[in-house]
Amino acid sequence: MINTRYLNNSPEVQLRNVGWDWMLGADTLPYLTNEAVTVKTYEADAYYNAANELYEIYAEAAQHAIDRNLWKEMGIPESLIELIKLTWEDDRHWHIYGRFDLAGGVSREPIKLIEFNADTATCIPETAVVQWAHLKANHMDESKQFNNVYEALKEQFAELRRRNMHLTPTLLFSTMRDAPEDDTNVAVLGEAAREAGFDVEFSYMDEVEFTATEGIFKQNPKNGKFEQFDFWFKLVPWEYIGYDEPELAELLTKIVKNGKAVIINPAYTLLFQSKYILKLLWDLYPNHPLLLPTTAQPLPNKVSVEKVLFGREGANVRILETNGTVITAAEGDYGDYEKIYQEYVEFPRDALGQRYQAGVFWAGDACGLGYRRGGKIIDNTAQFVGHLVE
């Protein structure tokens, strides 16, 4: 059972006071409710330990996939295989952050991995800043939250600099147009990078120029000159680039091989992002307490969740009864991908029957907790709910 506590004061004043009023648009605050999930200290510790352990076994599963050339099974586009190998074998290509989606973790319910958003995870503003501001607005101490996301991001960007001292700390952030939620996530990441010592700029994807021998550029609108960036963060999924823009994938591979830029998050995070890794994890660590049985075929005699390898925000997810009939399904644009089947587990519910999925951010270490509240399938209509450690 999920327990929540109502917080009277909205975070608006606190956000304005700390200069984050740009987060007050219609695309951020509707996700935040005035309730907060109450979490025991030992539960917060369990989430922390679970995310760290999961990252370790993810890395081992990714190495297993590379060693055995499981590119086809994992749905990896051929245009990205070389870049994945290059970045995996070179520690200068630093994984900045990701978010584990988890079931359970409260009221003695065991924590179970749902998936890992390792490449282009969102919910950063809500987790890192808005729920903190909500707590402060209600005169509560920040130690009452498992939330070190912003500081962890700063340290990750600082580590990225330390690993690439031969490069100029110029960092270009990019998103697709008409995705205001992505823009807000990138704005938080950009602030963390700036505080870590990077010169930060922003351009939409269609404004960025790439050359194999020179690197990554954007045109300065004031003087028309092209400015080079040694680091590029794209909140654009690697599988989109690999499948839909193979020429760009080839260009980026050459840019990395020529040492002209570091791309964040690195291409190898696509191995983590592929839901086929959920099957690999179960194969490698059967009966691991944090994992759910996952196979390439519907699970016999079990309610299962059918997921496409690269679905997002619950799209193209189906929950199947033991006989294969569909209990519920979500539409989406990813139906052409191959599928895996994960044993169904109920999300914890509150007194009103609303379901909660925990999200734990990893940025070099597990660093922050938040919840999304929705139906059997947590999709892009879910609300964000902050938390209190009591």
Residues 6+ apart with CB under 8 A from 1: 106, 107, 348, 349, 350, 351
**Which residues are 6's β-sheet partners?**
35
Query: How is the chain split among helix, strand and coil, in percent rounded to 5?
Result: 35, 25, 40
Token pair belonging to 335: 């139906």
- Mean pLDDT in the chain? 92
Mean pLDDT over residues 275-285, rounded?
98
Whether the predicted pLDDT of 356 surpasses 50: yes
Environment class of residue 333 by beta-carbon count within 10 Å: exposed (0-12), middle (13-18) or buried (19+)? Answer: exposed
Q: How crowded is residue 324: how many other Cβ atoms within 10 Å of its Cβ?
A: 9
CA distance 90 to 266: 10
Predicted confidence (pLDDT) per residue in 204-255, tens digit: 999 999 999 999 999 988 898 999 999 999 999 999 999 999 999 999 999 9
CA distance 170 to 262: 11
Mean pLDDT over residues 50-63, rounded?
98
Mean pLDDT over residues 165-185, rounded?
93
Residues 6+ apart with CB under 8 A from 77: 239, 242, 243, 246, 249
Going by C-alpha positions, the residue among 314, 289, 320 that lies closest to residue 302 is 320
What band does 331 get if pLDDT is binned at 50, 70 and 90? confident
Whether the predicted pLDDT of 82 surpasses 60: yes
Q: Where are the beta strands (DSSP E) in the chain?
A: 4-6, 32-39, 98-103, 112-117, 170-174, 199-202, 208-211, 215-219, 226-229, 231-234, 262-264, 294-295, 304-308, 318-320, 326-329, 339-343, 355-362, 366-374, 383-389
CA distance 370 to 359: 5
Predicted confidence (pLDDT) per residue in 108-154, tens digit: 999 999 999 999 999 998 899 888 988 988 989 988 999 999 999 99
Mean pLDDT over residues 321-350, rounded?
89
What is the pairing mode between strands 112-117 and 355-362? unpaired
Whether the predicted pLDDT of 29 surpasses 50: no
Q: What percent of the chain has pLDDT over 90?
A: 76
Q: How crowded is residue 72: how many other Cβ atoms within 10 Å of its Cβ?
A: 10
Q: How crowded is residue 299: how many other Cβ atoms within 10 Å of its Cβ?
A: 18
What band does 15 get if pLDDT is binned at 50, 70 and 90? low
Per-residue confidence (pLDDT) for residue 21, from 0 to 100: 62
Whether the predicted pLDDT of 31 surpasses 60: no
The residue to which tokens 């998050």 are assigned = 265
Token pair belonging to 129: 């800043």
Residues 6+ apart with CB under 8 A from 353: none
Whether the predicted pLDDT of 28 surpasses 90: no
